[in-house]
Amino acid sequence: MTTALIHQGDCILFNNIDGDDCILIDNVDGEYGNFMLVGKTAAYDGPTIVIPSEDTQILETQGLLVPENITVMPIPSNWGRISWNGMYILVE
């Protein structure tokens, strides 16, 4: 069994257990802070492409491993903002 702990790409801890032998290789560099245990973390399976809107959008990724990039699309050029100032409609 091998477990890898990756700390912001700077610190890697490998535990190799094979039969009666136990080997611990400890390579430490950098400062400690946030870390993620790889192999024990559930994967994010929600949307990875976000279309802009007027509302706040939350991608529920906290504590999950995100297997691919999340892409935020640009506002389409044919979209306009329509507002009402109390007297007339303004199209921007």
36 and 3 in a common domain: yes
66 and 28 in a common domain: no
Residue 19 has pLDDT above 90, yes or no: no
Residue 7 has pLDDT above 70, yes or no: no
- Mind listing the pLDDT tens digit for each residue in 33-55? 666 566 667 889 999 999 988 89
The pLDDT assigned to 12 comes to: 53
Give me the domain span that covers residue 33.
1-40
Q: Which residue has the tokens 């870390």?
A: 35
47 and 30 in a common domain: no
d(CA 7, CA 11): 5
Q: Which residues are CB-contacts of 50 (< 8 A; sequence separation ≥ 6)?
A: 57, 59, 70, 71, 72, 73
- What does pTM read for this prediction? 0.46
d(CA 35, CA 20): 29
- In sequence order, the β-bridge partners of residue 77 are none
- Mind listing the pLDDT tens digit for each residue in 51-86? 988 899 999 999 888 888 999 999 888 888 888 889
**Stretch (H or E) spanning 75:** none
Angle, CA 90 vertex, CA 84 and CA 92 arms, to 5°: 130
